[in-house]
Amino acid sequence: MKDFISLKVMDRLRSVFETLGCDYRVMRQIVQVKLTMDRRRVPTILQGTARKKNRPESEDKNSFVPSLLLYAFMGLLTVPFVLMNQNYMLQMSVTFGILMFLIMSSMVADFSSVLLDVRDRVIISTKPVNRRTMSFARTIHIMIYLFLLTGSLAGAPLLAALFAHGIVFFLAFLLEIMLMDIFILVVTALLYLLILNFFDGERLKDIINYVQIALSIAITVGYQMIGRSFYVIRLHIVFHTAWWQAVVPPFWFGSTFEWIMRGHASPLLILFSTLALIVPIISFAAYIQLMPAFERKLQKLSSNEAMGGMRKRAWLQAVSRIICRSNEERAFFGFTSVMMAREREFKLRVYPSLGFAMVFPFIFIFNSAWSNGLKDLASSRWYLSIYLSALMIPSVVMTLKYSAQYKAAWVYRTAPVQSIAAIFKGTIKAFLARLFLPIYLVESIVFVATFGIRVIPDLVVACLSMLLYAVICFQFTRKSLPFSEPFQVIEQSQKYVGLLLLLLIGVFAAIHFVFTLIPFGVYIYLFLLVLLNGAVWAAGVGFRSEKLLYDPTPQLYPVRRGE
Amino acid sequence: MNAADDAVISIRNLKMLYGDKLVLKGINLDVRRGQIIGYIGPNGAGKSTTIKAMLGLASGYMGEIRIFGRDISDGNVEYKRRIGYVPETAEIYDALTAREYLTFIGCLYGMDEVQADRKARALMRTFDLEAVYDARLASYSKGMRQRVLLISSLLHNPDILFLDEPLSGLDANSVMVVKDILVRLAAQGKTIFYSSHIMDVVEKVSNRIILLDSGQIVADGSFEELQERLNEKSLEDIFNQITGFHEHKDIAEKFVSIVQEV
């Protein structure tokens, strides 16, 4: 185990901890173990980028430091707001808003597993470790994490503040950031307490999962916005302080700058600034009071009372009866449907791309409407931008072979599966029916509302093309049984395939465009697509790869020592 | 020395509420040095709760628990220094290597880091696990982890051992080794609380059997005593008779008949 710098810093305060009644040697050990385990986790922000396949796990492969660099980069997003020399109240409130969102969601996304580690009870509490030492260790651990996270996020804006507005501004900023951290810590813990009060651990994990998904979407969007955000410096915005802002914490922190640096001593600004100081302190006191209750509630995490989920999904069965031909196919349709809805790791990887697929077509339409006006839009061919929603297909098709519980895939081999084509067909159909089509339907409704009912045949054509496209995606990516491999980064070769497949969707759109130039061309194309889809889906062309099932060199049980 | 002084563990009228359900309904128990106690009972009888209460994991019990003669309810955790524990759930920090995990646990028990490392390695060697001493626990098989857990519970040479299904996942040869280890430890005066559902092992290992049913002790004595008193051959039969379970044939028959439906 490494001797972390943070531990060495802590060593200097040893006597302080000891006077507070804490067994320093033991506490240091616990924190060291916790930090070591942190270094071996892949943070959400790096999901899908780090970790090369088959690379031997080095003693302390650190995915934590790269994630901090990425956070530092995200911190640039707030720099323009700090720099714009206008209404301090507004610009600093926005800065704090962004910082709070990023810190809090990262806390929830990556630190929950640490904060909520139920193993601590069995492993540590059964040893002669007194309660005070344990809660010190936990608090120190969280503080180190928060310090590193905040340090990298707020580094750039703090420097910008120092150079643009001077030392007083800088110090006020620093102090408020610390208060903000305390506030975030307490709010997160109280949030968990509240959720655990009403739900069980599984539900909490689901909620954490959705925060992770939101964070990865926000990171991707934020990444795109960093360059553009600098335009705000030139903007002139009129902003008024109002009572309602008292319920939005970032405004508390922003108000101080307007009051102290600009000398606007309005009662509201003073009130907000007082809140910024007092609320974190009071909530921290409350937090210390509630810590024992929190520890008790943690027991609930390991329990699973929820008996739900066994509701008969009659409509789902009806759908599978219609679109699946054999029992095998139907079984895999149902299985994939449930896995897609429940497996958190899968959702974390796939749901963000579903979100983007949903938004991309509209971004294009808005851009065109912005420059050409709404009138022309209705009669244009911009509806072809719906092809952009197919962008999710390759990534989902490639992800369907991964699972956190890939080892359970032994059932495929021990069960007498007749046809592997049925497995793949059932799986792909489940994805199309459960994830793709609902999104496509929603988009279509908006498209019909925008472009008129004349585009309905085109939307049907686009839909049929995408069903075909899904099969092509499946054909050209490396095939493996569904949910049978551990999650890992997509291999290099697969990345190029993925890129080609993205181009292919452009080809589909282009063909569609050509047909729209011919009279009744759309209907001709529609007819052709129906035939092609029939050949592929009914006859099962393109789904045959029986050898996978009997392949004696399986990817099923990769030996991953030291993982 | 009188009987009360000799008791390593002494429990008086232990009761425990879970919600509004009484899961322990007044347990009285004295355990002496060198005893291997087979602590058995149906699922939900309160076995784990008793062990957790003794380890200070369950707050809010009523009654008195004395370990090494001291009441443990005052929050002083020093007594845990002389206790070893293998949890049923086999919880372990599997991101760590065996070396890291075992030295960590040793340090929690107040051992010196170097000493804990040396001793852990030596114990791993006897279990044929030295080659994977620096591999992460996540890559271990179930049996390997179980052996690491056993080592972690004995590293600090405790006087009381709480073992909850300690043999799960171990092969027959390892089981023989562990059984012999337990007997030797008891001969040295250590007290072992052995909780399991596998009756044949309990029958052979323990020199005192305590049977718990719905929060109460319903039988307490050596295997031979219970055999004689209840006129049954095996511990399994004793268990069935006391817990009033006789319909196993009916249930099995029903089960098989459903299997045959297809």
Nearest-angstrom CA–CA distance, A499 and A455? 29
Provide, as residue numbers in chain B, all residues whose Cβ is less than 8 Å from the Cβ of A127.
80, 105, 108-109
Question: Could you tell me which of A328, A477, A479, A345 has the C-alpha nearest to residue A412?
Answer: A328
Domains and CATH numbers, chain B: 3-261 (3.40.50.300)
Measured in angstroms, the CA of B11 and the nearest CA of chain A are apart by 19
Give residues with Cβ within 8 angstroms of B60, minimum separation 6.
B16, B17
Provide the β-strand partners of residue A193: none
Q: Which of A128, A560, A563 sits opposite B77 (nearest CB)?
A: A128
Measured in angstroms, the CA of A350 and the nearest CA of chain B are apart by 26
> Structure tokens of A345?
């790791």
| Contact indicator for A128, A23 with CB cutoff of 8 Å | no
Mutate to test the interface with B, among A127, A134, A302 (most CBs of B within 10 A): A127
Rg of chain B on CA atoms, in Å: 20
Judge residue B24's burial from the number of C-beta atoms within 10 Å of its C-beta, 0-12 exposed, 13-18 middle, 19 or more buried: buried
For chain A, the structural domain boundaries read 5-50+62-302, 314-550
> In this predicted structure, what is the pLDDT of residue B139?
85
| Contact indicator for B82, B68 with CB cutoff of 8 Å | yes
Residue B79 forms contact with A (CB below 8 Å): yes
> Residue A18 in 3-state DSSP?
helix
> Structure tokens of A144?
């180190």
Provide, as residue numbers in chain A, all residues whose Cβ is less than 8 Å from the Cβ of B154.
none
> In this predicted structure, what is the pLDDT of residue A47?
57
One digit per residue, the tens of pLDDT, for chain A of length 563 reads 677 888 888 888 888 888 888 888 899 999 999 888 888 776 666 654 444 444 444 444 566 777 788 888 888 888 888 888 777 888 888 889 889 888 888 888 777 777 777 788 788 888 888 878 888 888 888 888 889 889 999 999 999 999 888 898 899 999 999 999 999 888 888 888 888 778 777 777 888 888 888 887 887 777 666 666 666 666 666 777 777 888 888 888 888 888 888 887 788 888 888 888 999 999 888 887 877 777 777 666 665 554 555 555 677 777 778 888 788 888 888 888 888 888 888 888 888 888 888 888 887 787 777 777 666 777 778 888 899 888 889 888 888 888 888 878 777 777 777 777 888 888 999 999 989 999 999 999 999 988 888 889 999 999 999 999 998 888 888 788 888 887 766 566 777 888 888 889 999 999 999 999 988 889 999 999 999 888 887 766 666 655 555 544 344 434 333 32
Chain A and chain B share a number of CB contacts under 8 A equal to 79
Provide the β-strand partners of residue B71: B66
> Residue A264 in 3-state DSSP?
coil
Q: Which of A119, A121, A127 sits opposite B108 (nearest CB)?
A: A127
Where do we find the tokens 């279990």?
B127
CA atoms within 13 A on the CB side of A31: 27
Residue type at position A337: S
| Contact indicator for B159, B192 with CB cutoff of 8 Å | no
Nearest-angstrom CA–CA distance, A443 and A359? 9
Nearest-angstrom CA–CA distance, A436 and A425? 15
Question: Which residues on chain A place their C-beta less than 8 Å from a C-beta of chain B?
Answer: 1, 25-26, 29-30, 33, 36-37, 40-41, 57, 118-119, 121-131, 296, 560-563
Q: Where are the alpha helices (DSSP H) in A199-266?
A: 201-229, 249-260
Provide, as residue numbers in chain A, all residues whose Cβ is less than 8 Å from the Cβ of B105.
123, 127
> Structure tokens of B234?
């095996």
Measured in angstroms, the CA of B233 and the nearest CA of chain A are apart by 37
Question: Could you tell me which of A206, A542, A531, A509 has the C-alpha nearest to residue A397?
Answer: A542
**Would you call A122 and B91 a contact, using CB atoms and an 8 Å cutoff?**
yes
Q: What does the DSSP assignment read for A503-535?
A: HHHHHHHHHHHHHHHSTTHHHHHHHHHHHHHII
Provide the β-strand partners of residue B25: B15
Asked whether residue B41 carries a pLDDT value surpassing 80, the answer given is yes
| Contact indicator for B129, B138 with CB cutoff of 8 Å | no
Judge residue B85's burial from the number of C-beta atoms within 10 Å of its C-beta, 0-12 exposed, 13-18 middle, 19 or more buried: buried
**Residue of chain B nearest A293, judged by CA positions:** B59
Pairing of strands B36-40, B160-164: unpaired
Provide, as residue numbers in chain A, all residues whose Cβ is less than 8 Å from the Cβ of B57.
121-122, 125-126
